[in-house]
């Protein structure tokens, strides 16, 4: 008996196109992102991988990717659970900043430490910043625990309780689970699933809009390390593009 878990990173947003750090800022998909979501859903339908339940973050680029993909697979009716624990990593004071300008200003080592190190968060975002989420009603349940910045380790720590209690329960019940989330929240989950080291996770990037399927054993370990992208060639090209963000 294996469990089927499908991970889908949202398609391109307006801020991906503008090359800005996004984090918890609620930016919507652009036309390219909507097309990616449509293709993602078509791939699911082609392979007969039909989700029974959807988990998303509370951010509209993930919510809308899921809506479009599930409509394309005629699964728009499945139950949905949303959590801030699946949100993108809070990018702290980098939210809203241009990636190329940040690279030029701080140099490659600092830029990559902020982007991809496991345990070094960017400086915190002041509460009065236009890019802060403090006071946003959708995070009222977090009170003053709402993040002001996060490193990948912080994301893993806030994601794990949700994975353990909510997501695993649906897998255990035999449901095909779709998680539609973000580059860094999915990197955290993949790190956990594949047992990737704190060092090696720096080199792992998740492509936009391409379903990544994991078959998990009863111990929730992948039967095939790294899972399977439903369009491997498109995944490889997108991974390269994500890796090189900033170098434009
Ligand atoms: O800006 C962000 O929130 C993320 C994902 O788009 O960027 P990065 O890949 O640089 O971590």
Ligand 1 mutation target, pool 118, 245, 246, 247, most atoms within 8 A of CB? 245
Give residue 11's pLDDT.
95
Is residue 40 scored above 70 in pLDDT?
A: yes
Find residue 5's DSSP bridge partners.
177, 214
**Which tens digits make up the pLDDT trace of 157-188?**
999 999 999 999 999 999 999 999 999 999 99
Give residue 1's pLDDT.
87
Ligand 1 mutation target, pool 15, 20, 22, 203, most atoms within 8 A of CB? 22
Q: What is the 8-class DSSP label of residue 194?
A: H
Give residue 245's pLDDT.
84
The span from the CA of 89 to the CA of 112, in Å, is 15
Mean of pLDDT values over 213-239: 97
Mean of pLDDT values over 5-34: 97
Confidence of residue 244 (pLDDT cuts 50, 70, 90): confident
**How far apart are the CA of 39 and the centre of ligand 1, in A?**
22
Mean of pLDDT values over 25-36: 98
* Non-local CB neighbours of 13 within 8 Å, separated by 6+ positions: 22, 27, 28, 29, 30, 33, 61
Confidence of residue 247 (pLDDT cuts 50, 70, 90): confident
> Measuring from each residue's beta carbon to the nearest atom of ligand 1, which residues come in under 6 Å?
16, 21-23, 88, 91, 115, 183-184, 242, 245
**Which tens digits make up the pLDDT trace of 45-75?**
999 999 999 999 999 999 999 999 999 999 9
Q: For ligand 1, atom 7, which residue shows the shortest CA distance? A: 21
Residue with tokens 């082609």: 46
Give residue 248's pLDDT.
58
Whether the CB-CB separation of 158 and 146 falls below 8 Å is answered with no
Is residue 143 scored above 80 in pLDDT?
A: yes
Annotated binding-site residue? 99: yes
pTM of the complete model = 0.97
Q: For ligand 1, atom 5, which residue shows the shortest CA distance? A: 183
**How far apart are the CA of 10 and the centre of ligand 1, in A?**
11
Percentage with pLDDT > 70 across the chain = 100
Whether the CB-CB separation of 209 and 40 falls below 8 Å is answered with yes
**How far apart are the CA of 150 and the centre of ligand 1, in A?**
12
- Catalytic, 192? Answer no
Whether the CB-CB separation of 9 and 69 falls below 8 Å is answered with no
CATH-assigned architecture of domain 3-243:
3-Layer(aba) Sandwich (3.40)
Is residue 144 scored above 70 in pLDDT?
A: yes
Closest by CA position to 230, among listed 178, 175, 183: 178
Q: Which atom number of ligand 1 is nearest to the Cα of residue 89?
A: 3
Whether the CB-CB separation of 77 and 45 falls below 8 Å is answered with no
Q: Spot the catalytic one: 35, 36, 42, 88.
A: 88
**Which tens digits make up the pLDDT trace of 69-121?**
999 999 999 999 999 999 999 999 999 999 999 999 999 999 999 999 999 99
Reported ipTM: the value is 0.95
Give residue 42's pLDDT.
98
């Amino acid at each position: 008996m294996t469990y089927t878990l499908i991970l889908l990173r949202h398609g391109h947003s307006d801020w991906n196109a503008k090359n800005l750090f996004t984090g918890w800022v609620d930016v919507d998909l652009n036309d390219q992102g909507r097309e990616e979501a449509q293709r993602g859903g078509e791939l699911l339908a082609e392979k007969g991988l039909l989700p029974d339940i959807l988990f998303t973050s509370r951010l509209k680029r993930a919510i809308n990717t899921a809506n479009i993909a599930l409509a394309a697979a005629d699964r728009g009716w499945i139950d949905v659970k949303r959590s801030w624990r699946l949100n993108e990593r809070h990018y702290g004071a980098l939210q809203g900043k241009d990636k190329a300008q940040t690279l030029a200003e701080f140099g490659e080592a600092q830029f990559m430490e902020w982007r991809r190190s496991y345990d070094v968060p960017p400086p915190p975002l002041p509460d009065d910043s236009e890019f802060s989420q403090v006071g946003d009603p959708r995070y009222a349940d977090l009170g003053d625990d709402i993040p002001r910045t996060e490193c990948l380790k912080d994301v893993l720590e806030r994601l794990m309780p949700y994975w353990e209690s909510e997501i695993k329960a649906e897998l255990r019940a035999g449901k095909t689970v779709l998680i539609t989330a973000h580059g860094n929240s999915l990197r955290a989950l993949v790190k956990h699933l594949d047992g990737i080291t704190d060092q090696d996770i720096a080199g792992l990037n998740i492509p936009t809009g391409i379903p990544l399927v994991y078959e998990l054993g009863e111990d929730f370990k992948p039967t095939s390390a790294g899972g399977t992208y439903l369009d491997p060639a498109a995944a490889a090209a997108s991974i390269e593009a994500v890796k090189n963000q900033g170098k434009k």
